Structure 1
């Protein structure tokens, strides 16, 4: 006779900026927050954060290490790019029923639950997904080097590129261009040095300049926000999403695209049911006893 699945569920939402952990038993629910855990840029630090988080959950819930080892756990982690990478992390942690994936599925399930609909996750990075009777399909989320269109990082890069185009006479001057140029002391070398060394989060710190400028009807700001909105629309079209079907905008930047989307799209906007951490807990319930898959 097989042993019944543990009633203890652990969900992990491991973003590049912060890593959130939750544990749920029959009686209690506990959460903690630690520093970011991007497995692509720093696997060792991410693994340390995961171990520290699991230990902190055990102490907070007053459980034994065996209880943790036998729990069912789902972790959505930034930077996971293939199954082998996830499997290596799974083997480095003590939990037997553990499934690690990238951080997009947890966000979708948290927002939609089991309902059909689409999600545009736009923060420092980006992805667009749709959940339907055919399953879950996700577009984007490939990282700052080659993707993450419409994201905060992307907007920051596009702003600097447009500033260079202004210097070359290829883009019009505006208050936004002036704000970006003055941020680097109106010095080309300072701007280029920043661009060479900056992390995605540092590029994303420029995104509020674009959002505020677009709100003030700045030409360059409107162009950049419109280009980001166009990417979201093209993804929705590729996913066969149609107006009237729920659409959730997730992430700090996503709501700022609402004024740049067509009325028939904004009419479909629906508040998210929950967070990515909520989604991770829901997915933990479906983690198979031998892990490596969802039941």
Structure 2
């Protein structure tokens, strides 16, 4: 019987699941909607859907461990753990999965090193110091209402505010007006934003980030100011953790894609003597979560380290 582990990477926009053997070979994959315990519309349903898809026809009895790396698991740890346990039982799996911040999976999905730092900017934003594959410090990651500065949701909210300011005369015109739903009328824009966030959470706001990127590349002053401030806030977030041995992993679509924001963040990190790695796209975070499951709660073994490297290859 081939023993299996499960890794789940649940963010505000999507949830990915990987089932892997103890040798580090991927046996199944699944994907569903966002499962952020703080902001997603139905995180429990997303976790169940991704896990069921990844398990496919694999026997549940072969699964020996699982790690759910969930956005929002820090501030809402109790709820996230309950959602993970419910999804685990719903799929017929024995025991309980471990629940960790999604930043740990992002780090483990980019490097097999046990310690370092990770800065994530996707729908949300957070930086984590990693020591021995566990969290040793965090900055931001407080959700789109209270924090996540420099994130996709933060950028989208700033874009809407820039358009509203332009419409009522508090600021100059901006090309972002064409990107924000509402037909260029302030009241309709406000209604559209509230309806969109109610339906899809902060991921709805994060959908405006590509429009800000495009407008900034064409020289729009408001968009350039948003990108510049987003980079400054992300740099302040990671610097708040202080110096840390090991690599710095940049994760999340805003930092892994070729964006102006990523360029500014990398420029701000230059000269700091850091080894900067870029997390892979796709299911790298879920692979990282599966690698954490292979290592278990301790420091791991040479075999688990080899399997970890194989998962990343």
Q: Same fold (TM over 0.5)?
A: yes
Between structure 1 and structure 2, the one with the greater Rg is 1
Aligned residues of 1:99 and 1:287 also touching (Cα < 8 A): no
| Cα shift at 1:131 | 2.9
Return 5+ residue gaps in structure 1 as ranges. 1-5, 290-295
Give deviations 1:203-243, integer Å, cap 9, x for gaps. 1221112111222222111111111011111112211148x
Give the superposed CA RMSD: 3.1
CA distance in 1 between counterparts of 2:51 and 2:265 reads 41
| Cα shift at 1:171 | 2.1
Aligned to 2:304: none
| Cα shift at 1:90 | 5.1
TM-score (norm 1): 0.79
Give deviations 1:37-88, integer Å, cap 9, x for gaps. 3334568x43344445444444443x2x3323xx111111234334432443
TM-score (norm 2): 0.75
CA distance in 1 between counterparts of 2:69 and 2:204 reads 23
| Cα shift at 1:180 | 4.2
Matches for 1:205-216 after TM superposition, within 5 Å: 205-216=207-218
Aligned residues of 2:16 and 2:286 also touching (Cα < 8 A): yes
Matches for 1:57-136 after TM superposition, within 5 Å: 57-61=54-58, 63=59, 65-68=60-63, 71-80=64-73, 81-89=75-83, 91-92=85-86, 93=89, 94-131=93-130, 136=136
Mean alpha-carbon deviation: is it higher for 250-259 or for 277-286? 250-259
Distance 1:95-1:75 versus aligned 2 partners, 3 A rule = farther
Aligned partner of 1:10 among 6, 21, 27: 6
| Cα shift at 1:167 | 3.0
CA distance in 2 between counterparts of 1:172 and 1:253 reads 26
Return 5+ residue gaps in structure 2 as ranges. 299-313
CA distance in 2 between counterparts of 1:164 and 1:53 reads 38
1:33 aligns with 2:33: no
CA distance in 1 between counterparts of 2:229 and 2:68 reads 33
Aligned residues of 1:118 and 1:241 also touching (Cα < 8 A): no
SS class of match (2:249): strand
Mean alpha-carbon deviation: is it higher for 105-114 or for 203-212? 105-114
Aligned residue-pair number: 276
Distance 1:38-1:95 versus aligned 2 partners, 3 A rule = farther
